[in-house]
């Protein structure tokens, strides 16, 4: 017979008549010693064999006996139940009787749940069973009507053909919040490519009030919403990546392919001293947050974006954190962008409570320059002087983040302090850097 372990599951059982528990089955000797029913007792017989008959009303003794499903059970008995097999046993209830199998367990007002051995708990998966899908089947919402579906697919067609782009983007951004339509967007390669091309367009200072910026932001928000709590959509975009990554958008030779363009938040050309627009950058950071849940995109994000450079997607995040607002930017809106960039690093790489991929960033094995070298490159980590170190932020991660924490030391709630603790914790876990009290 399999062995069992006892575990307590406390609940209020004031209304329960007896304690329900499972121990070992009644011994065959006990069963044989049970008295035979008298001739006047109504019997239940399912076969022609009289030995297999049993009383309609359960006849209790001082030993546990199996209670058949169709037997009537008198009240006031001591009953126990195997919650896995459903086998029920009962006997005469003896007040204050101690059950040796429950010794040491607080059984008052409790149900004792018996766990099977691990071997018994293993589920046998039938041959050729479909792979487990945690997201489950994603069904079309019941509220959707024919007109909605028609408008959605019409918008997809319009976007891919480049006709009424503004109207199509508005419709797609609005409906992409629905997990079903978000998945349909992600499954269509041409739609995904069109959205990424619009999202990564090179914005000139003269375009800040133009439809180009608005379209870029709507396209980015659509992709971000598509990935929101939708792992199946992320898997679809992963499947497109081998074809998507090397593709170019339009005829502008200054634009890089979509990889690394998706991770390039600051443009190295032609306006290196101008910050990207805050509304679009915030949207692109939200999109990156969704993409970086995938190991595939984290690898691309942490890889050098251009040949011969150490600059990565994380380098661009660090530039956002350490660059002050441009003269034509709203300082508060840029501060919100910086905070969102810091949260991306924390949630993706440093905070285990948020499901971060620990040990991936700061990049293991990436040598750090000394303080003097970093100061020479970044000129205090702010303003246009910091452009000298463009692409080398990964070599000064500790110096840059520590400098931010020191700059805002009077603001105890500033995001820089949590980010610096995270970086120190990563260094400590990797066996590098001084031992600090986190």
Rounded Cα distance, 125 and 234, in Å: 27
Which pLDDT score is estimated for 19?
Answer: 37
Rounded Cα distance, 384 and 37, in Å: 99
Q: With 60 as the cut, is the pLDDT of residue 181 above it?
A: yes
Longest dimension (CA), the chain: 105
Note whether 237 and 291 are within 8 A (CB). yes
Rounded Cα distance, 235 and 257, in Å: 21
Strand order in the sheet with 77-81: 65-67, 88-92, 77-81
Q: With 70 as the cut, is the pLDDT of residue 98 above it?
A: no
- Nearest CA to 377 among 318, 427, 334? 318
- 8-state DSSP, 112: E
Numbers of helices and strands, H then E, in the chain:
16, 7
Helices 278-291 & 231-244 angle (0-180, nearest 10): 100
Strand partners, 65: 90
Tens-digit pLDDT profile for residues 350-389: 999 999 999 999 998 889 999 999 999 887 544 444 456 7
Tens-digit pLDDT profile for residues 182-238: 999 999 999 999 999 999 987 766 656 678 889 999 999 999 999 998 999 999 999
For domain 145-291, give the CATH number.
1.25.10
Rounded Cα distance, 20 and 110, in Å: 9
- Nearest CA to 195 among 290, 272, 321? 290
Burial class (CB in 10 A: 0-12, 13-18, 19+), 126: exposed
Where residue 359 falls (left for φ over 0; alpha for ψ -120 to 50; beta otherwise) is left
Tens-digit pLDDT profile for residues 122-146: 556 666 655 555 555 666 655 555 6
Calculate the alpha carbon distances from 216 to 168, 212, 331 in Å: 13, 6, 22
Give residue 23's pLDDT band: very low, low, confident or very high (50, 70, 90): very low
Rounded Cα distance, 145 and 386, in Å: 54
Rounded Cα distance, 186 and 116, in Å: 43
Which pLDDT score is estimated for 10?
Answer: 41
Average pLDDT over residues 134-161: 65
CB atoms within 10 A of CB 125: 8
Distance of CA 110 to the CA centre of its chain: 35
Higher pLDDT, 420 or 32: 420
The secondary element (H helix, E strand) that includes residue 74 is: none
- 8-state DSSP, 181: H
Tens-digit pLDDT profile for residues 293-323: 999 999 999 999 988 777 899 999 999 999 9
Q: Could you state, in order of their start, the residue ranges of all structural domains in the chain?
A: 5-121, 145-291, 297-438
Which pLDDT score is estimated for 341?
Answer: 98
Q: With 70 as the cut, is the pLDDT of residue 32 above it?
A: no
Calculate the alpha carbon distances from 109 to 16, 21, 95, 103 in Å: 9, 12, 15, 15
The secondary element (H helix, E strand) that includes residue 77 is: strand 77-81
Give residue 47's pLDDT band: very low, low, confident or very high (50, 70, 90): confident
């Amino acid at each position: 017979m399999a062995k069992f372990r006892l575990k307590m599951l406390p609940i209020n059982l004031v209304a329960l008549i007896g304690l329900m528990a499972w121990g070992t089955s009644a011994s065959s000797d006990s069963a044989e010693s049970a008295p035979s029913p008298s001739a006047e007792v109504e019997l239940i017989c399912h076969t022609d064999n009289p030995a297999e008959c049993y009383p309609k009303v359960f006849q209790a003794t001082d030993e546990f006996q199996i209670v058949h499903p169709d037997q009537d059970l008198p009240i006031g008995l001591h009953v126990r139940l195997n919650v896995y097999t459903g086998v029920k046993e009962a006997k005469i209830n003896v007040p204050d009787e101690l059950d040796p199998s429950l010794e040491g367990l607080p059984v008052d007002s409790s149900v004792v749940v018996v766990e099977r051995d691990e071997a018994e708990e293993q589920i046998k998966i039938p041959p050729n069973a479909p792979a487990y899908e945690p997201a489950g089947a994603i069904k079309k919402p019941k509220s959707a009507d024919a007109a909605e579906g028609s408008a959605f697919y019409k918008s997809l067609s319009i976007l891919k053909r480049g006709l009424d782009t503004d109207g199509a983007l508005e419709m797609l951004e609005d409906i992409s919040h629905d997990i079903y339509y978000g998945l349909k967007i992600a499954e269509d390669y041409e739609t995904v490519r069109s959205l990424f091309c619009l999202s990564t367009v090179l914005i000139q200072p003269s375009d800040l009030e133009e439809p180009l910026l608005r379209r870029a932001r709507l396209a980015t928000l659509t992709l971000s919403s598509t990935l929101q709590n939708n792992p199946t959509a992320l898997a679809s975009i992963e499947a497109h990546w081998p074809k998507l990554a090397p593709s170019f958008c339009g005829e502008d030779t200054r634009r890089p392919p979509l990889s690394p363009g998706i991770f390039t938040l600051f443009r190295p050309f032609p306006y290196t001293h101008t910050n990207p627009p805050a509304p679009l950058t915030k949207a692109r950071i939200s999109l990156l947050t969704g993409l970086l849940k995938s190991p595939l995109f984290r690898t691309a994000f942490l890889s050098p974006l251009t040949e011969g450079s150490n600059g990565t997607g994380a380098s661009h995040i660090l530039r956002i954190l350490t660059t002050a607002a441009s003269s034509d930017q709203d300082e508060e809106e840029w501060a919100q962008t910086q905070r969102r960039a810091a949260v991306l690093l924390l949630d993706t790489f440093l905070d285990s409570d948020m499901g971060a991929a620990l040990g991936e960033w700061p990049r293991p094995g990436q040598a750090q320059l000394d303080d003097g070298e970093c100061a020479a490159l970044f000129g205090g980590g702010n303003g246009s002087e910091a452009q000298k170190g463009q692409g080398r932020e990964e070599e000064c991660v500790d110096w840059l983040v520590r400098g931010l924490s020191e700059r805002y030391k009077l603001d105890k709630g500033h995001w820089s302090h949590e980010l610096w603790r995270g970086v120190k914790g990563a260094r400590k876990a990797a066996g590098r850097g001084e031992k600090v009290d986190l």
